[in-house]
Each structure stands twice: as C-alpha cells, then as structure tokens.
Amino acid sequence: MSAQFRSHRRLLVTYLKPLWGRVILLAILLIVSIGLQLVNPQVIRAFIDATQAGSPLSTLLLAAGIFLALAVSQRIIAFLSVFVAESLGWRATNALREDLTLHCLRLDMPFHKTHTPGELIERIDADVTALANFFSQFTVNVTGNSLLILGILVLLGREDWRIGAGFALYCIAAFFLLRAIQQVAVKRWASQRTATADFYGFLEEHISGTEDIRAAGAEQYVINRLFLLMRRLLESTRFAKFVSNSTSFSINFLYATAYSAGLGVGAYLYSLHQVSIGTAYLLVFYIGMLANPLETIRKQMQDLQQASASIERVEVLLSLQPQIRDGNRAVPTRVSESGVTITFDRVSFSYDQQENVLEGINFQLQPGKVLGLLGRTGSGKTTLARLLFRLYDPGAGSIRLNDVDIREMALSDLREQVGMVTQDVQLFQASVRDNLTFFKQQVSDAHIEQVLKELDLWQWVEQLPEGLDTRLAAGGQSLSAGEAQLLAFARVFLKNPGLVVLDEASSRLDPATEHLLEQAVDRLLQQRTGIVIAHRLQTVQRADEIMILEDGRIVEYGARVALASDPNSRFYHLLQTGLEEVLA
C-alpha cells in the first residue's frame, strides 16, 4: 500500500468517522439510485414485449406508470444524495479547517514569522476547499459508479454471458485509454501554465523596469523576447487545447463504438430469434449506460490528482510539531496571597541560534514585588516577557514559577498564572463582553461588572450604546489606544493571575485616560508579582526593584529606592536625564 494511499485513507477515516450516519445514508441513497437505474430498462423491455404481444392497454399503462414512478423516484433520490453529499463535504472540511486553525495557533512563533497569514489562509481554506469533493463525492462516486458498471455487466451477462464478458473487456480497455489521454492532457496543461507564468512574469518585470529599458534603448530587445514568449504561449495553448478536445472526442468515440456494438449484437440476436425486440432494446440501453459511469470515474481520478497535492500540503502542515511542548506537572497556584515567585536562572536566548538576544539573565522576584524593566529599544525587554509566557523557550538556563520550571507546567496552567498586557492590544470584531472574556461563556456579567467597577471602567462601559453588548470594530478601530489598554487590563483582571507582565504603551494619552490607566495599573499590581516594561516615570515609581538591560545583559539590578539615591548608578542618571527621553 503506497504512503499516498495510506494518507488519503487516514484523512477520510478521521473526518468521516464522526459523520458515519450521513455516510450510511448516502450509501443507501446511492444503492437505491443504482438499483432504480438498472431496473428501469427492464420495465421498458416488458413494455415493448407487451406491445409486441398485443397486451391490453391497461397492462401498457401500468408499465408506463411504473416507468414514470421509477424515473421520478430516481431523480428525487439523486437530488437527496447531492444534498447529503454536500452536507457531508462541508461538515468534514469544516472539521478539518477547525483542526488546522487550532494546529496553526499552537505552532511556535518562529513558524508564524516564516509563514505569512496569506499563506496560512491558502492552506486552511483553499486547500481544504479543494478537498470537499474528495470527502463528499470521491468514494461515493467511484464506488457507486463501479457498482453501476458491475450491475450492468451482470445484467448483460444474464442475457448472454459472452456479451457480459465482451463488454467487461471493453470497460477495462476504455478506462485505461481515457486515463492515458488524460495524462497527456495534464502534462500539456502544466507546460501551458508555465508558459503563461513566464509571459506574465516577463511583462510585469519589464513594465516595472520601463525607465531603465528606455534609458538603455532596449525596447527592441524587449519586444523580440516578448514575441518569443508569445509564440511559446500560443504553441503550448494550441497543443493543450488539442489534447483536451481529443479527450472529449475519444469519449464520444468510445460511446459511439459501444452503442454500435450494442445495436449490432441486439439486431443479430433478434434476427436469429434468440431474443425478443424488448431484450434487444434492453441490451442497447444497458450498453449505452456504460459510458457515463466510466467518464465519471475518470473525472474523479483526475480530481483526486489535484486533491492529492492539497492533501500533501495539509499533511505537511499537520505534521509540524511545536517545539514548545506542553508540560504536565500540576503547579500549586498562588502559593502566597500576594503573587508568585519568579526565578530566572542563567537564562540565555537567541532567535536565530546565532546571536544571543538575552545572555545570562539571573534574578529572583519575590511574591508581590514589582520589577521595573528598563533598557533602550532592542535591549531584550520584550523577549524576556515572551520567555515567561513560553512563546519561546530559553536556549540555556531555566525560568521557574513558584520553584517549578515553567517547561514542566501545563501551558494552560502557566498562561492562567501569567497575565500579559502588551503595547499592541489585539481586539476582535466582537462585543465588549467577548473581547474581555475571550469568548468564555462561563464568566458572568455580574463578575465583569464588579471587575470593571474596581478598575473604574464601569462608567465608560455604561455610556457605550449597548453596554457590554456593544460591538467593537475590527482591530479595535473604534477605541483609543488608552481605552484598548484599559480593556486589556480588565482582561487580565478577569483572569486573576499571580504574575502580571505589563509592556506599557509609549504613546501619549489624554489626561483623563492616563488617569484611568494609572489607577488600573495600581489595582493590577496590588497583591501580585509584577514585571513592568516602563516608559513613564510614574510607572517606574511603582517598582520595588529596577533592572536595566543592555544588549541582552543585566547591567544594573537593585532596589529602586537604593538605586535612585546612588549618584553612581545608571538609574540615578536616567532619572536625572529624563527617563522618557533616554528610553523613547
């Protein structure tokens, strides 16, 4: 069994298993539809033979009525099977979309840095859409039509075994012939697409470089090259279309051959009085029915080729594993009422495995203490916060929360324990409530109200047109930067973590919002351990300890009060020069 077949089967089984009820329904509809298709010619035969035998009109009307009823039922069943197949396809692909989205969300930051959102949308949506047919129709169509062909061959064989065997050989030969032609067509279209891509690539490059081309007097060269490319495009398109058309020509040819053979056999047997005129008609009818399923199976195989490329890409994406592994150790949350202990034990880290962005970071922060993290831009402050949240793991050393290595903790536990407010708050196109709770239904409105009141934000929510139900615009465009930060504070409050990491916004805010923010920071840091990447003097004043980073190393660390009064300290100089000017 080839690896490709195994991966196709795995995907089918995984996503169709939960939908087995629908799969069975579809199979039943299919079998009934095939049965009806096979039975109908028998009714026609009975009708023709009855006419020949001069049967009464009532018998003929009965046969006609049965024929009509069967034909209408067959159409209704065909309609129902399309409906069930579509719903099956959508459900299966939506489940796959969901899994892929979740998988991408769990993949590490380096993955997201190297894969653009556009590329992921292509993987999660376009590739999966290409698989809808694979899920809903492929198995059903291939099995169904194979059964139909088999049924026709059996019924033909029942009339005369030689006819059955002969047309079985015909089907096998026709299938392989169609496939061979299709393969030539696929190759031709591939080279036509290459020629098109070259042509547009050339046009785009030379139109954007028009100034240089004119300056160099190279217009004639460009036109000559263009002619060459156009000729290649013309030739490849002509050839591809020719091969494509010969596919439909071959199908018609096969159909016509089968039909003529059917007519010939029917007429021959009838002339020998071996069959009735009804049976002769039956043979022609059944043989005529062979072409359609053959063509459907061929088309499904062609679709499968395209789906295979998508399946491969989806499988590659699913096989990527995050480097950040989930730990499983239960962690005593909040050992002390006033927060958690944080220990950085000789932590070094590099984004590219070459140059360390953090080097030998060593410190311990006691519960309830606030660390003010200072340093010029690029000194590694944000990186330190990211390590705490396990967006990345350190290259050397360890980070401990309440004396447990954060790599051993379950990621969900860790992220419950650490609340982070970044400069760039992400708001979603959803209600204020959903933006605060991250769509957790179990958080009650009363609790939200209490938290917002504590943060002095309730008034702000009350003046919104629909209170908590007010919908925010995409990207939080309807809010000011300060209001967005306030919402981010409220989010952290609702989570109630033992450690808060606050990357303060450096932008200037209006005095009223600034005041609200100040109060919120005060409340946020009460009875919690805090790490504050501060840009404002007022925020720094809240810190118990100060750490100054330079090129990823600690160049100063100590109690704020002591450093502020030591004229030899960097912190002292920073305060003298003006924090905001130096760190901006």
Ligand X SMILES: Nc1ncnc2c1ncn2[C@@H]1O[C@H](COP(=O)(O)OP(=O)(O)OP(=O)(O)O)[C@@H](O)[C@H]1O
Q: Which is nearer to ligand X, 369 or 381 (CB)?
A: 381
Shortest gap between Cβ of 419 and ligand X (angstroms)?
18
Q: Quick one: which of 149, 406, 174 has its CA closest to 293?
A: 149
| Structural tokens at position 287 | 């043989």
- Residue 45 binds ligand X (CB under 6 A): no
Q: Is 381 in the site for ligand X (CB under 6 A)?
A: yes
CB of 379 to ligand X, least distance (A): 4
Q: Nearest approach, Cβ of 318 to ligand X (angstroms)? A: 24
Instruction: State the Cα–Cα distance between residues 525 and 339, nearest whole angstrom.
Output: 9
Q: Could you give the angle at the alpha carbon of 474 between the alpha carbons of 469 and 480, nearest 5°?
A: 80
Edge-to-edge strands, sheet with 342-349? 358-365, 342-349, 396-401, 404-405
- Nearest Cα residue to 46 out of 65, 33, 31: 65
Binding part of the chain for ligand X, among 201-209, 374-382, 441-449, 561-569 by CB under 6 A, reads 374-382
Taking residue 527's Cβ as centre, other Cβ atoms within 10 Å add up to 14
CB of 202 to ligand X, least distance (A): 35
Min dist CB 360 to ligand X, Å, is 15
Residue 357 or 516: the one with the smaller Cβ distance to ligand X is: 357
> Token pair for residue 16?
């169709």
DSSP state string for 135-148: IIIIHHHHHHHHHH
C-beta closer to ligand X: residue 378 or 475: 378
Q: How far is the CB of 582 from ligand X (least distance, A)?
A: 12
Query: Looking at the chain, how many residues does it have?
Result: 584
Q: Are strands 404-405 and 396-401 parallel, antiparallel or unpaired?
A: antiparallel
Q: Which is nearer to ligand X, 138 or 349 (CB)?
A: 349
Whichever of 113 and 273 has its CB closer to ligand X, that residue is 113
Question: Of 6-14, 120-128, 336-344, 378-386, which segment contacts ligand X by CB under 6 A?
Answer: 378-386
The Cα-based distances of 578 to 417, 527, 536, 542 in angstroms read 34, 29, 10, 17
Task: Quote the CA–CA distance of 270 and 277 in Å, as a whole number.
Answer: 6
Nearest to 501 by CA among 408, 377, 418, 394: 418
379 counts as binding ligand X under rule CB under 6 A: yes
- CB contact at 8 A, 82 and 5: no
394 binds ligand X (CB under 6 A): no
Select from 88-96, 175-183, 379-387, 442-450 the region that touches ligand X (CB under 6 A).
379-387
State yes or no: residue 114 binds ligand X (CB under 6 A).
Answer: no
Q: How far, in Å, CA of 234 to CA of 229, rounded?
A: 9
Q: In this structure, what token pair is assigned to residue 89?
A: 């396809």
Check binding of 378 to ligand X (CB under 6 A).
yes
Q: What is the residue-wise DSSP string for 477-529?
A: TTS-HHHHHHHHHHHHHHH--SEEEEE---S---HHHHHHHHHHHHHHHTTSE
- Interaction of residue 383 with ligand X, rule CB under 6 A: yes
d(CA 423, CA 386) in angstroms, rounded, equals 13
Query: Can you give 62-113 as a three-state secondary structure string?
Result: HHHHHHHHHHHHHHHHHHHHHHHHHHHHHHHHHHHHHHHHHHHHHCCHHHHH
- Contact call for residue 502 and ligand X (CB under 6 A): no
**CB of residue 357 to ligand X, shortest distance in Å:** 4
Which range in 60-68, 120-128, 266-274, 376-384 contacts ligand X by CB under 6 A?
A: 376-384
> Which letter does DSSP use for residue 53 in this model?
T
| Shortest Cβ 358–ligand X spacing (Å) | 8
Bridge pairing between strands 545-550 and 370-375: parallel
Using the contact rule CB under 6 A, the part of the chain among 142-150, 204-212, 373-381, 434-442 near ligand X is 373-381
Query: Could you say whether residue 113 binds ligand X (CB under 6 A)?
Result: yes
Q: Does position 390 bind ligand X by CB under 6 A?
A: no
* Among residues 375, 419, 476, 482, the one that binds ligand X under rule CB under 6 A: 375
**Span of 88-96, 278-286, 381-389, 512-520 interacting with ligand X by CB under 6 A:** 381-389
Examine residue 382 and tell whether it contacts ligand X (CB under 6 A). Answer: yes
377 binds ligand X (CB under 6 A): yes
Among 380, 476, 482, 498, binds ligand X (CB under 6 A): 380
Count of CB atoms situated within 10 Å of the CB of 543: 23
Q: Is 188 in the site for ligand X (CB under 6 A)?
A: no
Residue 117 CB, shortest distance to ligand X, in Å, is: 15
User: What is the footprint of ligand X within residues 397-426 (CB under 6 A)?
Assistant: none
x-marked contacts with ligand X along 336-355 as a string, rule CB under 6 A: ---------------x----
Stretch that binds ligand X, among 165-173, 185-193, 380-388, 479-487 (CB under 6 A): 380-388
Nearer to ligand X, 151 or 375 (CB): 375
Contacts with ligand X, 71-110, as mask; x by CB under 6 A: ----------------------------------------
* Nearest-approach distance from CB 222 to ligand X, in angstroms: 40
Tokens of 393: 């793991």
The residues binding ligand X (CB under 6 A) are 113, 351, 357, 375, 377-383
